[in-house]
Amino acid sequence: AQTFEEIGVADFFYRNRDIAGFTSPSRAVFSAIRELVENSLDAAEDVGALPDVRVWMFKKGETTSGVSIYKVRVEDNGSGVPPQSIPSAFGKVLFGSKFKLRQARGTFGLGGTMAILYGQITTNKPVKVISSAGGPKAFAYKLMIDVERNRPIVLSRKVLNNGSGWRGTIIELHLEGDYLRAMPKVLEYLKQTALVNPHANITFVDPKGRLYVFSKATEDVPRPPKETKPHPYGVDVELLQRLIRATNCRNMLDFLRAHFHRVGEVMAKRFLESAGLDALRDPRSLTHDEVVQLSQEMKSFKWFLPPDASCLSPLGEELLRAGIAKELRPEFIAVCQRKPSAYSGHPFIVECAMAYGGDIPKAEYFTLYRFANRIPLLYDEASDVSFKVIRSINWSRYKISSDMPIAIFVHICSTKVPYKTIGKEFIADRQEVKREILFGIREVARQVQRFLSKREKAERQRKR
Amino acid sequence: AQTFEEIGVADFFYRNRDIAGFTSPSRAVFSAIRELVENSLDAAEDVGALPDVRVWMFKKGETTSGVSIYKVRVEDNGSGVPPQSIPSAFGKVLFGSKFKLRQARGTFGLGGTMAILYGQITTNKPVKVISSAGGPKAFAYKLMIDVERNRPIVLSRKVLNNGSGWRGTIIELHLEGDYLRAMPKVLEYLKQTALVNPHANITFVDPKGRLYVFSKATEDVPRPPKETKPHPYGVDVELLQRLIRATNCRNMLDFLRAHFHRVGEVMAKRFLESAGLDALRDPRSLTHDEVVQLSQEMKSFKWFLPPDASCLSPLGEELLRAGIAKELRPEFIAVCQRKPSAYSGHPFIVECAMAYGGDIPKAEYFTLYRFANRIPLLYDEASDVSFKVIRSINWSRYKISSDMPIAIFVHICSTKVPYKTIGKEFIADRQEVKREILFGIREVARQVQRFLSKREKAERQRKR
Ligand SMILES: Nc1ncnc2c1ncn2[C@@H]1O[C@H](COP(=O)(O)OP(=O)(O)OP(=O)(O)O)[C@@H](O)[C@H]1O
Ligand SMILES: Nc1ncnc2c1ncn2[C@@H]1O[C@H](COP(=O)(O)OP(=O)(O)OP(=O)(O)O)[C@@H](O)[C@H]1O
Ligand SMILES: [Mg+2]
Ligand SMILES: [Mg+2]
């Protein structure tokens, strides 16, 4: 007969490492560095600091079967983590500070913890975390993860004098890895991260002691993204029930104005009228079926204003142009920032660019650079929504052929990037996102077409 | 300042629907049917029955914004679920009976529950489950999921007289969906499921009342897969610690023989000698560092026997050939079953086939059919390890060109299929798996090459 069991969530990710991007020793090196660097960038932006992220990798030995063991150390000047939250932040899966509706690189609450988990199951060494919020004290922890119960095991905790008022976090972990195979992807990742984060200083010392420096190109800190409320178009029954359970509002008018994005008094009244709901009704008195009806009415009410994207922090055309120029030195760059749109109530902005010539190689097909919330996506390109859009375009209409030296950039920023995988390899093809990418790429394709025909004309005139 | 929160695992999958394959109303229809059908097939095989799975979809209405609401009903003749386990099996994520090292379609403990969760958040209707193990009673539950706490909410529970001794499970759920867009994929899924499960009867009635019948082609039930123990090459420190905590063995010799696959007395002694560990030592007395050393020594000991694959249940060359012949009526079929191999201690077998002509269309590239543990994989083909292998092959060596009417089949069966995504869209590229697929495809490519050159020769002789 069958035996039934329940497993914990950390145990789930321990058993299914491929899911979180830890398929092999080389992928593990990439994923570990990436997760830690993204946490550091988020932490620096949280306090409005120009990020200074330093990564070291030291070779520490080899296993008896010849796989290398590395120590990875990442140090940042971010917000630091409050001491009482350090054990859970690094020793518990689905614990974190990014579960809000706000644009950030982190979103799942498990990336950094997965890197620590992988390190622990391959080397059985604890992670070392040192963190301070800038006060007189800094806190140093040695932690392991209780995988079956998904909770931190604190091996040691020390309080240090922080005379210099240093603020930030240092993480040190050991893991089995294959740096040689991972190296090209790691360096490409850091290079592309620097491209879309020109305000950040990133340095990397690899196991051979080679230093790679990606220094900041600007002193301007990007406008920090703001937290937003859910938009009426993104509600479902579960969300409504949670809001009703937690609300202090005692009538529907206040409830709609207080909890939803861009719903003011006038709009709330208009909606309640059209839905046939009494404005003075206590939200907690709604029946099950009324909640379902409310959810459907909110989704279909035509007059709600689209989500405003002031809560988002896109790259901006100037920065995108500057980053591409620096990295690829192309002859021509076309850039386009689409107007804000939304899927399931989540606002998003798509930014596209197309570059021609310079250091861009001629290849069988265009070179595609994908980014989401200022992080580069380097794997599984063919499943990504951007790739599918590019493949669907008839390029001969723009007198562009796929073997030209052309690079295409797509960046999407949102309060919730619709990743298809836990390892953030690629983005799911949501209709609304697909449409915006298509319009963005068509716009830059037209600009490149104009550039090419001007060039051709000039070429022809020169020949006469 | 940051606010830290912890979310539950059901809440995690509620917030990240794209991850589990519920990206859009049309994808949701596909995913829901697929998850329920796979559970039914697993349940029938658990009791050695010839599966009889019936699927109905009824249109139940429309939301105010015009999205259709469907009722999905799936009935099977499987094992049934013990009444005390029904609420958790269908109302709790990461609860199930497939967490063992045994080949099955299910592996994560969340597929069916996710379909129920998606139905609940879009329609707020409970799921109905009726199940019996064949005894005098059947049990009917109405359930919902408490998303925040990841536990079932039992709305009603009835005990029914089961006079006819019926055995099986019936699931009824409502969900928002788009059957029109989903239809081609749903029908393709059922067709390909029938192809690799020729012992199963599958019927489907769609919302328009059209009946689709995929009747069984054989009465033979495949050899049921057996549960196996972990193989020494797949250990890590976490696994060893769990085994040591739970073991009744009081010396290392017994410990190795009792808990590991294909480790007998002689082998255990040889290993312990080479690792320098005392055979009489109590496993519970090992220190932290000794456990790490033991894990590394086990991974690198060259003389352990490879995992034996008697625990697996591959399709078999005959069945694969018969299934392809029935569906595509090709002129020629080459089939190859590779010898068992292993990755991370999990045994797997790769089966390949290549078919030429008949109903196979000429296209820009080969048609690829992918299967894992007897389920078809229909999405994100370009990220799958099989696709990458096929793209890496120089086909001109086999005088085959990609625009020929050729279909390639790859099936992998294992105690743990290395899926890359929770939605089981595609398989991660583990080195060992990649190698076996490459050798399998090369073998069938050679056979097709021989067939084509014979055909050509015959053609030429006829012309003279
Ligand atoms: N370098 C850091 N500085 C400050 N806080 C950090 C740092 N690293 C991690 N944290 C805190 O620990 C939490 C957990 O990190 P983790 O990477 O596991 O999840 P996440 O970043 O929230 O989401 P994701 O899984 O998408 O990465 C974060 O939410 C953050 O609050
Ligand atoms: N039709 C069925 N007959 C018998 N048992 C079932 C049926 N459907 C589900 N179950 C039981 O409920 C459990 C949970 O099912 P669920 O689909 O959520 O996870 P799973 O099948 O174990 O894994 P996966 O996430 O890979 O599908 C199963 O493990 C099985 O024990
Ligand atoms: Mg993170
Ligand atoms: Mg299942």
A267 and A380 fall within a common domain: no
A356 and A421 fall within a common domain: yes
List the CATH number of the domain containing B366. 3.30.230.10
List the CATH number of the domain containing A265. 1.10.8.50
pLDDT tens figures, B377-414 = 999 999 999 999 999 999 999 999 999 999 999 999 99
B294 and B323 fall within a common domain: no
Q: Using the mean position of ligand 3's atoms as its centre, give its distance from the Cα of residue A106 in Å.
A: 4
Given a cut of 80, whether residue A8 has pLDDT beyond it is yes
Decide if A202 is inside a domain. yes
pLDDT tens figures, B26-43 = 999 999 999 999 999 999
Q: Using the mean position of ligand 3's atoms as its centre, give its distance from the Cα of residue B288 in Å.
A: 29
Question: How many structural domains compose chain A?
Answer: 3
What beta strand segments (E) does B94-136 contain?
Answer: 95-96, 127-133
B152 and B254 fall within a common domain: no
Q: Does B89 touch chain A (CB under 8 A)?
A: yes
pLDDT tens figures, A389-414 = 999 999 999 999 999 999 999 999 99
Degrees to nearest 5, angle at CA B288 with B285 and B293: 100
Judge if the beta carbon of residue B2 lies within 6 A of ligand 1.
yes
pLDDT at A342: 87
Decide if B310 is inside a domain. no
Given a cut of 80, whether residue A107 has pLDDT beyond it is yes
pLDDT tens figures, A335-351 = 999 999 888 889 999 99
pLDDT at A1: 64
Q: Does A181 touch chain B (CB under 8 A)?
A: no
A237 and A170 fall within a common domain: no
Query: How many CB atoms lie under 10 A from the CB of residue A27?
Result: 23
**Mean pLDDT over each residue of chain A, to the nearest integer:** 95
Q: d(Cα B243, Cα B230) in Å, to the nearest integer? A: 10
Question: What is the torsion angle, in degrees rounded to the nearest 10, for the CA atoms of residue B152, residue B155, residue B160 and residue B162?
Answer: -30
Degrees to nearest 5, angle at CA B226 with B224 and B231: 150
Q: Which residue of A has its CA nearest to B3?
A: A97
How far separated are the first and last CA of chain A, in Å rounded?
Answer: 87
pLDDT at B165: 95
Contact B336, B217 (CB under 8 A): no
Say yes or no for a CB contact (<8 Å) between B383 and A426.
yes
Given a cut of 90, whether residue B309 has pLDDT beyond it is no
Decide if A312 is inside a domain. no
pLDDT tens figures, A257-289 = 999 999 999 999 999 999 999 999 999 999 988
Decide if B230 is inside a domain. no
Decide if A309 is inside a domain. no
Given a cut of 90, whether residue B447 has pLDDT beyond it is yes
Q: For tokens 């950030």, what's the residue?
A: A104
Contact B17, B110 (CB under 8 A): no
Determine how β-strand A52-62 pairs with β-strand A201-205.
parallel
pLDDT tens figures, B178-235 = 999 999 999 999 999 999 999 999 999 999 999 999 999 889 888 889 999 999 988 9
Decide if A289 is inside a domain. yes
B157 confidence band (pLDDT: 50, 70, 90): very high
Of A254, A202, A260, A212, nearest to A233 by C-alpha is A260
Q: Where are the alpha helices (DSSP H) in B227-264?
A: 237-246, 252-259
Q: d(Cα A126, Cα A124) in Å, to the nearest integer? A: 7
Q: Out of B4, B291, B297, whose CB is closest to A89?
A: B4
pLDDT at B464: 82
Higher pLDDT, A150 or B221: A150
Q: Which ligand is nearest to the CA of A373?
A: 1
Show which of residues 339-358 on chain A sit within 8 Å of chain B, judged by CB atoms: none
Q: Which ligand is nearest to the CA of B40?
A: 2
The shortest C-alpha distance from A285 to chain B (Å) reads 17
- Identify the domain boundary among A249, A270, A300: A300
pLDDT tens figures, B257-294 = 999 999 999 999 999 999 999 999 999 999 988 998 99
Contact B32, B173 (CB under 8 A): yes
Question: What is the torsion angle, in degrees rounded to the nearest 10, for the CA atoms of residue B5, residue A46, residue A430 and residue A293?
Answer: 50
Which neighbouring-strand residues pair with B133? B167
For residue A26, what are the domain limits? 9-214
A244 and A183 fall within a common domain: no
Run of H or E including B176: strand B167-177
List the CATH number of the domain containing B13. 3.30.565.10
Judge if the beta carbon of residue A76 lies within 6 A of ligand 1.
yes
**Mean pLDDT over each residue of chain B, to the nearest integer:** 95
Q: Out of B8, B300, B428, whose CB is closest to A64?
A: B300
Q: Tokens in use for B105?
A: 């379609």
Q: How many residue pairs from chains A and B have C-beta atoms closer than 8 A?
A: 180
Pocket around ligand 2: residues whose beta carbon is below 6 Å from it?
A 2; B 35, 39-40, 43, 76, 78-79, 81, 89, 96-98, 106-113, 169
B1 confidence band (pLDDT: 50, 70, 90): low
Say yes or no for a CB contact (<8 Å) between B4 and A431.
no
Of B429, B413, B405, nearest to B348 by C-alpha is B413
Q: Which residue of B has its CA nearest to A9?
A: B9
The atom of ligand 2 lying closest to the CA of B78 is 3
- Identify the domain boundary among B162, B194, B214: B214
Given a cut of 70, whether residue B301 has pLDDT beyond it is yes
B64 and B119 fall within a common domain: yes
Q: Out of A99, A122, A429, whose CB is closest to B5?
A: A99
Judge if the beta carbon of residue A313 lies within 6 A of ligand 1.
no
Kindly report the protein residue whose alpha carbon is nearest to atom 22 of ligand 2.
B109
A267 and A345 fall within a common domain: no
A284 and A332 fall within a common domain: no
Q: Which residue of A has its CA nearest to B383?
A: A380
Q: In Å, what is the CA distance from A117 to each residue of A10, A17, A147, B18, B238? A: 9, 10, 8, 24, 10
pLDDT at B87: 98
Q: d(Cα A230, Cα A260) in Å, to the nearest integer? A: 5
Q: d(Cα A134, Cα A81) in Å, to the nearest integer? A: 10
Tally of CA atoms within 13 A in the half-sphere of A155 that contains its CB: 12
For ligand 1, mutation pick of A34, A35, A42, A167 (most atoms within 8 Å of CB): A42
Judge if the beta carbon of residue A88 lies within 6 A of ligand 1.
no
For ligand 2, mutation pick of B42, B127, B170 (most atoms within 8 Å of CB): B42
Decide if A420 is inside a domain. yes
For ligand 2, mutation pick of B39, B46, B420 (most atoms within 8 Å of CB): B39
Burial of B251 (C-beta count, 10 Å sphere; 0-12/13-18/19+): middle
Contacts of A243 (CB under 8 A, 6+ apart): A230, A255, A259
A281 and A393 fall within a common domain: no
Least confident of A51-55, A203-207, B145-149, B293-297: B293-297
Q: Using the mean position of ligand 4's atoms as its centre, give its distance from the Cα of residue B110 in Å.
A: 6
Of B379, B387, B421, nearest to B27 by C-alpha is B379
Burial of A83 (C-beta count, 10 Å sphere; 0-12/13-18/19+): middle
A461 confidence band (pLDDT: 50, 70, 90): very high
Residues of chain B neighbouring A88 (CB-CB closer than 8 A): 4, 6
User: Is the torsion defined by CA of B259, B263, B266, B267 positive or negative?
Assistant: negative
pLDDT tens figures, B167-193 = 999 999 999 999 999 999 999 999 999
Q: Tokens in use for B291?
A: 């456990």
Burial of B46 (C-beta count, 10 Å sphere; 0-12/13-18/19+): middle
Query: How many CB atoms lie under 10 A from the CB of residue B83?
Result: 17
Query: B369-372: long-range contacts at Cβ-Cβ below 8 A with a sequence spacing of 24 or more?
Result: B369/B192, B369/B407, B369/B408, B369/B409, B369/B410, B370/B410, B370/B411, B370/B426, B370/B427, B371/B192, B371/B196, B371/B315, B371/B409, B371/B410, B371/B411, B371/B412, B372/B411, B372/B412, B372/B413, B372/B414, B372/B417, B372/B419, B372/B424, B372/B427
Say yes or no for a CB contact (<8 Å) between B122 and A292.
no
pLDDT at A234: 87
Show which of residues 239-298 on chain A sit within 8 Å of chain B, judged by CB atoms: 242, 288, 291-292, 295-297
Q: Does B121 touch chain A (CB under 8 A)?
A: yes
Judge if the beta carbon of residue A89 lies within 6 A of ligand 1.
yes
Decide if A305 is inside a domain. no
The share of chain B scoring above pLDDT 70, in percent, equals 100
Say yes or no for a CB contact (<8 Å) between B94 and A426.
no
Contact A195, A324 (CB under 8 A): yes
The atom of ligand 1 lying closest to the CA of B2 is 31
Q: Which ligand is nearest to the CA of B77?
A: 2
Mean pLDDT of B286-306: 91
A333 and A194 fall within a common domain: no
User: How much of chain B is in helix, strand and coil states, percent to nearest 5?
Assistant: 40, 25, 35
Report the number of secondary-structure helices (H) and strands (E) in chain B: 12, 16
A326 and A425 fall within a common domain: yes
Say yes or no for a CB contact (<8 Å) between B99 and A418.
no
Buried/exposed code over B419-457 (b: 16+ C-beta within 10 A; e: otherwise): bbbbbbbbbbbbeebbebbbbbbebbbebbbebbeeeee
Q: Out of A3, A124, A242, whose CB is closest to B292?
A: A124
